[in-house]
């Protein structure tokens, strides 16, 4: 009998552990990000940066998040020593922080509705569903800061709502000091944590009243303790002083550190709602995210549950606290923040999850009574209603899996790594800030690929890069940053060529051919077998004087009968970005045309053409060469 009682005491705890294990085994583990991030979805913007920073002990974008970086970088180092890959380890830290948050949330929920077997089961079910919501699920499986922030918020709620063991004035003061310390750490990590202050003041109001005349001194001490949460910012200064890789901004200077601390670059998102239409649009934006994450049915159930929680004396204080926490975060987001900020979204959704708990705690015992003692029809109706509601909510939440898997398995940015590998020795490679930039940075600084290449983004010093030597960029860069942008950044006229496939070389001096004549010519050609393509290299030479019109390029692979079986035509040289009318007289430009390796190709024909006013095409020059490169299939 004693043994059975001991086992029964452990069942609620095991129920919570089972919920976390199920989330991990069936949801988090299959969607954990194990490759350098390639997704450009707004939720994934900074993931690639975080993957690098945690591996090299760098610093993140403003506001820096130094405590998160220090702790998570230490975990990444430990994970890698036991064989976990450099790409997966940062996401694994998010899972670890999230598990701690959900575990503490389960403990708090059990405390709020009772530690009985039923209470444990309802808390476990609520935590399980909360773990399936889109934002919570996603941030458990990617390298981001938000499960760490969620953990700090849950800790604050635990301290504020857990029944005190010491009810003396001194005990209340210690509880206030604990709140101040954790609150300072939370605000130091992310300023969005400040949205919980009204809720925490409400929850801690009895402890403040107990201080009597000592209240002013206690408040001053609380403020002082809260400032300790800013001490981790010394990490940014230390890493800048050490010359560490991937140090964002200039935290080694006072102005740079202040910019990092205040997040000045994100100021454009704050206070941007200036009209009723803008307010309505922002409200739709934030509300749509919440409805997508929890499903409309889930949000409705949560709101009903919060109302029930307020009415019940046993949960009123907790319900009002989480309503304040979530509503302040939601209203601030709607009124003052014009981008989607996961820290505020998660705070609002955490409060809604508590609504699920209050709803379950109210309805399940009553449903049990009906099932046990009611008539047949009501019993069947209650069972169908309960199972149907749980099933509908579960189905809506589980549907997030495919969306999340698509984000975490996106390999688009990996195409950038071959460009890094192909860059000229000791060159500068410019890739705009984003997933592709981070993929190249991950390969260079984490995996050690081409450390001789200097990697810059679109905010880098183009003039200094040109003075150092060769500058290259992927050809798709010009869709966003055309040649005019490069010339403005360099303060000089620039010239393009392509020495390597998909890479454009930028120079501040043209290459002039001594053989330039009165018409455009191909001064040289060649090709190499490279993977699935023949990389046809052609040196075009502009005439003297320059051409009065632009020509397009044709590059055709022919079979033995002269049929075109593959082609790599371009509207202008250098992937269409360098029309002939921009060229200097006598300029020689090397260009590369990746031509598919197709079985049966025996000859390559290439040249220039233009389109007449009547729509017909006229070839200007035409050349041919035999092909001896075997097809890829062979």
Look-up: residue for tokens 């000791």? Answer: 426
Say how far apart CA 338 and CA 70 lie, in whole Å. 30
Best CA proximity match to 132, nearest among 287, 289, 295, 301 = 295
Whether the CB-CB separation of 370 and 379 falls below 8 Å is answered with yes
Q: How far is CA 232 from the centre of its chain?
A: 23
What's the pLDDT at 543?
84
Count of beta carbons in the 10 Å neighbourhood of residue 402: 9
Say how far apart CA 77 and CA 71 lie, in whole Å. 10
44's CB contacts (< 8 A; 6+ apart) are: 37, 142, 407, 435
HSE-CB at 216 with a 13 A cutoff on CA atoms is 1
SS (H, E, C) 352-378: HHHHHHHHHHHHHHHHHHHHHHCCHHH
Count of beta carbons in the 10 Å neighbourhood of residue 388: 10
- Under-70 pLDDT residues of the chain: 1-10, 272, 372, 374-379, 381-382, 386, 531, 628-634
187's CB contacts (< 8 A; 6+ apart) are: 193, 194, 226, 229
Say how far apart CA 166 and CA 244 lie, in whole Å. 47
Question: What are the C-alpha distances in Å from 40 to residues 137, 410, 412, 535?
Answer: 18, 9, 9, 29
Torsion, CA 244, CA 250, CA 256, CA 260, rounded to 10? -60
What's the pLDDT at 633?
42
- Tell me 264's DSSP state: G
Q: How far is CA 190 from the centre of its chain?
A: 16
Q: What are the beta bridge partners of residue 216? A: none
Say how far apart CA 33 and CA 89 lie, in whole Å. 9
Whether the CB-CB separation of 397 and 129 falls below 8 Å is answered with yes
For residue 477, is the peptide bond before it cis, meaning its omega torsion is within 30 degrees of 0?
no
Burial of 562 (0-12, 13-18, 19+ CB in 10 A): exposed
Spell 498-520 as b/e; 16+ CB within 10 A means b.
bbbbbbbbbebebeebeebeeeb
Say how far apart CA 533 and CA 319 lie, in whole Å. 64
Helix or strand run (H / E) with residue 620: strand 617-626
What's the pLDDT at 1?
45
Q: How far is CA 202 from the centre of its chain?
A: 34
- Provide the whole-model pTM: 0.92
461 phi-psi bin (left φ>0, alpha ψ -120 to 50, beta other): beta
Whether the CB-CB separation of 430 and 456 falls below 8 Å is answered with yes
What's the pLDDT at 629?
65
Length of the chain: 634
What's the pLDDT at 369?
74
Q: What is the per-residue pLDDT across 227-242, written as a single tens digit (0 to 9) for each?
A: 999 999 999 999 999 9
Q: What are the beta bridge partners of residue 363? A: none
95's CB contacts (< 8 A; 6+ apart) are: 24, 28, 32, 140, 141, 147
């Amino acid at each position: 009998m004693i043994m059975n009682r001991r086992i029964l005491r452990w069942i609620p705890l095991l129920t919570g552990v089972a919920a976390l294990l199920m989330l991990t085994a069936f949801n988090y583990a299959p969607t954990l990000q194990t490759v350098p991030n390639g997704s450009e979805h707004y939720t994934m913007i900074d993931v690639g940066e975080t993957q690098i920073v945690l591996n090299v002990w760098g610093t993140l974008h403003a506001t820096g998040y130094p405590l998160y970086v220090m702790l998570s970088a230490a975990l990444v180092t430990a994970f890698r020593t036991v064989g976990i890959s450099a790409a997966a380890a940062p996401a694994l830290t998010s899972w670890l922080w999230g598990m701690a948050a959900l575990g503490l949330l389960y403990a708090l929920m059990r405390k709020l509705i009772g530690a009985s077997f039923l209470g444990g089961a309802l808390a476990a079910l609520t935590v399980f569903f909360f773990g399936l919501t889109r934002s919570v699920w996603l941030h458990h499986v990617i390298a981001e800061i938000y499960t760490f922030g969620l953990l700090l918020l849950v800790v604050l709620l635990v301290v504020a709502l857990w029944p005190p063991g010491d009810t003396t004035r001194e005990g209340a003061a210690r509880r206030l000091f604990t709140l101040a310390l954790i609150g300072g750490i939370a605000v130091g990590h992310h300023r969005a944590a400040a949205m919980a202050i009204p809720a925490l003041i409400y929850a801690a109001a009895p402890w403040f009243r107990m201080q009597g005349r000592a209240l002013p001194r206690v408040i001053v001490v609380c403020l002082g303790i809260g400032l300790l949460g800013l001490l981790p910012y010394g990490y940014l200064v230390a890493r800048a002083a050490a010359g560490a890789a991937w140090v964002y901004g200039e935290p080694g200077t006072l102005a740079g550190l202040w910019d990092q601390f205040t997040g000045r670059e994100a100021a454009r998102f704050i206070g941007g709602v200036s009209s009723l239409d803008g307010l309505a649009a922002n409200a739709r934006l934030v509300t749509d995210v919440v409805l997508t994450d929890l499903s409309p049915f889930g949000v409705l159930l949560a709101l009903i549950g919060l109302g029930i929680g307020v009415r019940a004396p046993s949960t009123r204080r907790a319900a009002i606290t989480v309503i304040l926490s979530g509503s302040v975060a939601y209203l601030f987001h709607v009124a003052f923040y014009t981008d989607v900020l996961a820290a505020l979204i998660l705070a609002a959704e955490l409060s809604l999850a508590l609504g699920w708990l209050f709803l379950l705690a109210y309805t399940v015992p009553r449903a049990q009574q009906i099932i046990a003692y009611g008539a047949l029809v009501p019993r069947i109706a209650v069972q169908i209603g309960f199972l149907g509601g749980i099933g509908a909510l579960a189905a809506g939440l589980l549907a997030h899996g495919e969306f999340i898997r698509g984000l975490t398995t996106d390999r688009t940015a990996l195409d950038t790594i071959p460009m890094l590998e192909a860059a000229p020795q000791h060159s500068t490679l410019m890739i705009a800030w984003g997933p592709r930039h981070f993929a190249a940075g991950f390969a260079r600084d984490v995996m050690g690929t081409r450390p001789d290449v200097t990697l810059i983004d679109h905010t880098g010093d183009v003039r200094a890069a040109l003075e150092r030597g060769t500058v290259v960029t992927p050809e798709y860069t010009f869709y966003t940053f055309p040649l005019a942008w490069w010339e403005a950044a360099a303060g000089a006229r620039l010239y393009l060529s392509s020495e390597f496939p998909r890479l454009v070389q930028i120079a501040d001096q043209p290459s002039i051919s001594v053989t330039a004549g009165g018409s455009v010519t191909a001064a040289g050609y060649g090709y190499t077998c490279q993977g699935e393509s023949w990389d046809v290299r052609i040196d075009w030479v502009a005439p003297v004087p320059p051409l009065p019109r632009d020509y397009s390029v044709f590059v055709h692979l022919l079979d033995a009968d002269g049929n075109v079986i593959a082609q790599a035509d371009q509207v202008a040289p250098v992937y269409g970005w360098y029309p002939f009318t921009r060229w200097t007289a006598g300029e020689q430009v090397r260009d590369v045309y990746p031509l598919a390796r197709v079985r049966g190709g025996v000859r390559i024909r290439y040249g220039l053409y233009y389109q007449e006013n009547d729509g017909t095409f006229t070839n200007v020059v035409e050349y041919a060469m035999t092909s001896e490169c075997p097809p890829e299939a062979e």
